[in-house]
Amino acid sequence: MECLEGRRCIICNAIISDNNPDGIGSSCRIAFNKAKYVLFMEDKDRRNSYYKLRTEPIMFYFETMFKDTKFRSNFRKQFYPSLIKQWHEKKFISNKQLSIVLGMLDNKREWIEKVEKLEEYIKVKQREMVNDYTDSLEGSERDRLRELTNKMRKSLKEE
């Protein structure tokens, strides 16, 4: 990969510095990261595991913080037990239900203290999940990642 001018980007062949750890130039990195997520999300099981990584800790805090709460509104009186039942049976909630849960948690002081650390933890774990998957790609799958990256690069240049 060495050349007279220095190292080259493995995607666009642009000159990169010797300090570059993975051989991907800065202009290609955004496209490469988007392509990794697109490829990762093509499989339903991977999408669900990615989503559960976020919902499981949120639902744990939601159930714990509202366990002894006496709700006044009819909606919340019905929403909490039905959602907890659904969560225990299916381990899945919709995006709309998740947004309602997050709205209810936003009013809890204990949640506000934990939310930043939790969100950072979730992002790191999700990023690791995607990176582990794309690191394990071989052959035609790796070629597909390269093709997606090039498509992303072109679409980013057009914007």
Residue 2: strand pairing partners? 7
As a whole-number percent, the residues of the chain with pLDDT over 90 amount to 46
The pLDDT, as a whole number, for residue 1 is 43
pLDDT digits (tens, 9 = 90+) for 50-81: 999 999 999 999 999 899 999 999 999 999 99
- pLDDT for 159: 64
What is the pTM for the complete model shown?
0.72
Residue 75 to residue 119: CA distance in whole angstroms: 27
Give the contacts of 117 (CB within 8 A, at least 6 positions apart). Answer: none
| Lookup: tokens for 159 | 């914007």
For residue 8, with 0-12 CB atoms within 10 Å meaning exposed, 13-18 middle and 19 or more buried, which class applies? Answer: middle
Could you report the per-residue pLDDT of 91-149, keeping only the tens digit for each?
899 999 999 999 898 888 777 778 888 888 999 999 999 999 988 988 888 888 888 88
